[in-house]
């Protein structure tokens, strides 16, 4: 639940606040977060703006996988089941696109820095830059290039496993299952019947690098229905020194529709270099509603 005033007290300031409680199930654990934030922004010019957010969160990690519990037990993975984050994030955005929701030309560039350690138990600094270029293309279409770089570093203690970078899915690398593109290891566990099973444990990375190339073209212009073909490349790395050492790549196609209830995406991605025992070579069909990217 949140309230934001884009012209606070009839000024150019944007001011808002939110309170929230989320619960999400991931591959190796579930995460419940209760928190709130206050935020403010100001346009420095017609194309340049700044935004600030202070947030406080209390998290719980539960329903850990057998692989994660085994790794915590033998000391190869550090994971706190509870914790609090008190952080401030500052961002700077340059937007020269012709229409923010569905650009056909221009650039959008954002850089942000988050520092957690203003109280709370978590200590880390996270830096992310996102850059996109849009160009008119043939047959009324739009060609776009997008690049994202992220880095998170510890500040006095290890970065929690749930704060690290995990890629895969419709918003990062299509064709790969959500949160499976990251450093991982094969963990063996002994079952109650004495048999041994092996599972992948996804550890998350401290560095992410993503590239997306797309060509959008109109299908039914009057109703806002578009087609898209794409190519994705990227990875999450355990160390910034490993960057560029390996990319997971994929290609595919889909449709997008500006529906009355919001932008809809239906896209099918196929991995170019699937990892044995992790990825499906046949690809994945994914659906989302709310935003295109």
For 107-130, the pLDDT digits (tens) are 999 999 999 999 999 999 999 999
DSSP letter assigned to residue 222: G
CATH of the domain at 22: 2.40.160.50
What's the average model confidence in pLDDT over 204-213?
Answer: 98
State the pTM of this model.
Answer: 0.94
Measured over all CA atoms, what is the biggest interatomic distance in the chain, rounded to whole angstroms?
A: 70
* Structure tokens that stand for 11 in this block: 């000024």
What's the average model confidence in pLDDT over 14-31?
Answer: 96
Q: Do 57 and 34 touch, CB atoms closer than 8 A?
A: yes
Alpha-carbon distance of 66 to 72, in angstroms, equals 10
For position 292, what pLDDT does the model report?
66
- Is residue 158 in a domain? yes
- Is residue 49 in a domain? yes
Residue of higher predicted confidence among 129 and 80: 129
Q: Tens digits of per-residue pLDDT, 220-241?
A: 999 999 999 999 999 999 999 9
- Is residue 249 in a domain? no
- Is residue 47 in a domain? yes
What's the average model confidence in pLDDT over 96-102?
Answer: 91
Look at residue 136 and tell me whether its pLDDT is greater than 70: yes
CA distances from 1 to 18, 35, 88 (A): 6, 11, 20
Domain range for 40: 2-213
Look at residue 75 and tell me whether its pLDDT is greater than 90: no
| Number of domains, the chain | 1
- Is residue 195 in a domain? yes
């Amino acid at each position: 639940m949140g309230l934001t005033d884009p012209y606070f007290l009839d000024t150019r300031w944007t001011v808002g606040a939110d309170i929230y409680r989320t619960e999400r199930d991931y591959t190796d654990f579930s995460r419940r977060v209760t928190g709130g934030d206050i935020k403010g922004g100001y346009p420095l010019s017609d194309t340049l703006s700044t935004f600030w957010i202070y947030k406080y969160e209390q998290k719980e990690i539960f329903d850990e996988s057998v692989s994660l519990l085994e790794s915590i037990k033998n000391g190869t993975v550090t994971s706190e089941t509870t914790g609090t984050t008190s952080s401030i994030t500052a961002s700077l955005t340059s937007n020269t696109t012709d229409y923010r929701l569905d650009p056909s030309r221009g650039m959008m560039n954002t850089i942000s820095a988050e520092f957690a350690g203003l109280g709370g138990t978590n200590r880390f600094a996270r830096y992310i830059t996102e850059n996109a270029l849009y160009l008119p293309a043939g047959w009324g279409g739009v060609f776009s290039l997008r690049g994202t770089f992220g880095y998170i570093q510890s500040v006095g203690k290890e970065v929690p496993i749930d704060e690290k970078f995990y890629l895969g899915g419709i918003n990062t690398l299509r064709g790969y299952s959500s949160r499976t593109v990251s450093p991982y290891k094969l963990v063996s566990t002994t079952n109650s019947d004495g048999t041994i099973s092996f599972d992948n444990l996804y550890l998350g990375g401290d560095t992410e690098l993503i590239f997306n190339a797309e060509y959008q073209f109109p299908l039914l212009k009057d109703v806002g229905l578009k087609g898209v073909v794409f190519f994705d490349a990227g990875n999450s790395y355990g160390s910034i020194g490993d960057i560029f050492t390996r990319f997971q790549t994929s290609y595919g196609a889909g449709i997008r529709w500006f529906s009355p209830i919001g932008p809809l995406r239906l896209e099918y991605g196929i991995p170019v270099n699937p990892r044995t025992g992790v990825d499906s070579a046949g690809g994945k069909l994914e659906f989302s509603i709310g935003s295109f990217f």
